[in-house]
Amino acid sequence: MAKKQKVKGADALLLSLIAEGVDIMFGYPGGQVIPIYDHLYDYRNRINHILTRHEQGAVHAAQGYARATGKAGVCIATSGPGATNLLTGIADAMLDSTPLVCITGQVPSTMLGTDAFQEADIISMTMPVTKWNYQVTSASEIAPAIAKGFYIARSGRPGPVVIDITKNAQVEDVDFAYKPCMGLRSYTPKPVLDTEKVARIVEMVNAAERPLILAGQGVTLAGAEKALAEFADIGNVPIATTIMGISSVCTSHPLYVGNIGMHGHIPANKLTQKSDLLIAVGMRFSDRVTGAVKGYAPGAKIIHIDIDHAELGKNLRCDLPLNADAKEALEAMKTGLKYIDRAEWLAAAAQYRQKEQERVVAKTVDPKGKYISMAQAVSALTAKAGSDAVIVTDVGQNQMFSARYSRFDSNRSFITSGGLGTMGFGLPAAIGAKMGVPGRQVFAVMGDGGFQMTMQELGTIMQNRIGVKMLILNNSYLGMVRQWQQLFFDRRYSFTELENPDFIKIADAYGIPGRRVSSPGELEEAVAALVGAEGSYLLEVVVRSEENVFPMVPAGAALDESIYNE
């Protein structure tokens, strides 16, 4: 048993974080966390605290760090508005299964419920969007709460936890000894693998003529990327990914057919609809993936493998559910799996790929060479940056073009806000990602709208000399909303046009070099400058104002009812 030492509650918190391996955290100080920050001053050589410019920036940075590293991200904010400013990121992390430990300050326990200055009931507010939350009211609770919080955040299906610490608990004396949490009664994060079901799955895959693997983020969270590729290779089964599953398989893999859903690749969506067996691994069949459920994969039996039992059968019928860790399941499923030729099935994928080249990709280039398309900009970035780069996107058209035209050979390379679709996510998440993987190139791809939601985080980049590369695709619109207004609301562009500031001057004010380009002839050189910059750099690419993301499955339509730029 660890030897106890007499410390203040704030010390107990920081020593607990260190015991959990935390060496970086993102935050913003305020009245009810001053004791923590006062003690943090003495831990500066052990915990690197990154001062963001807004609490939302802190939680998104923690998300980016977690997604890039696989570790739990940590952020801290004061009570009241500081805590409520974390809410969007916490909800985002919950939907995207991101492990976070969010620490908030709170008024002294004697003042709880009195509407004291900056008091807010953050426990009630975050209950629906956390795996677990807890209010600490005495110093003796701090170490056990942190231990439990990290265990819950990282185990099973990961997610965010909130630990709210009253001010008195931060200043009280406590006998400190840290004991990591190794398990909790009535909480089984990793289910026991059902080997009989595994055998049945193998039989079904061997018997299928047109099987398709659907890989979600659960593959990455389980560290199952290698097992997934091996399973596909052994059985000669094509793979599609969800948006969140992108980079769980190399985009250059011969069996990879693209990502599925509303703006998915034609081969992925068409094969889904023509498949006789879908093997869904670590994904939740969201509405943006399935389109109209009635018309989804009409001839397919569905195998659904997920570590979260609640997801099995929640959104879609399931012929064979398997509650399991993705890596354990895929490793077990390799046994007995047979190589089937499936030449006709794979040839169909190749035909759809050619169809996409002709009907979609070729049409993203202006034949007159007057304007740059978003597809061109993302493709140019991928070509220059290489397939090991980390692409962090904001939300909207920039996100969908990045999903469609980026290329990856390394895992944890595509970071985006999937379930909640949070504009403003891109820049702070890229900061966190770069702090987590400093040896990799990290690019934030954003629209002009999303960038302006959190562009104050340029100050974080400046103060900490963080080498994030930024690509702004500027169409002077809230592009995705404008696309819907064009296609489904008779071009009534209601409050989606933006009059933008000079982004290059703004970057310059923060000491960040940049460049603005608007013609295709400038693009290659400008992207090369972005990629080759030693530190941070901002490239603004002026793109066609009314460019749309195609193909598109309209809301309420089936996956094979896409519309095209025709």
Catalytic residue positions? 55, 117-118, 167, 480
In one-letter notation, the amino acid at residue 98 is T
Strand partners, 514: 538
Amino acid at 203: E
Please tell me whether residue 413 adopts helix, strand or coil conformation: coil
Task: Return the structure tokens found at 86.
Answer: 């974390």
Tokens of 444: 């934030």
Q: Say if CB 199 and CB 336 are below 8 A apart.
A: yes
**Cα 562 to Cα 185, 345, 399, 487, 545, distances in angstroms:** 48, 21, 19, 13, 22
Residue 84 token pair: 């409520």
Question: Of the candidates 201, 281, 298, which has an alpha carbon nearest to the alpha carbon of residue 240?
Answer: 281
The rounded distance, in Å, linking the Cα atoms of 31 and 519 is: 50
Query: Residue 111: CB partners within 8 Å, gap ≥ 6?
Result: 119
d(CA 239, CA 259): 9
CA nearest to 152, candidates 122, 132, 135, 134: 132
Q: How far apart are CA 64 and CA 26, in angstroms?
A: 11
Residues 319 and 302 sit within 8 Å (Cβ to Cβ)? yes
Structure tokens at 316: 């879609």
149's tokens: 């919080």
- Angle made by CA atoms 217, 471, 563, in degrees to the nearest 5: 60
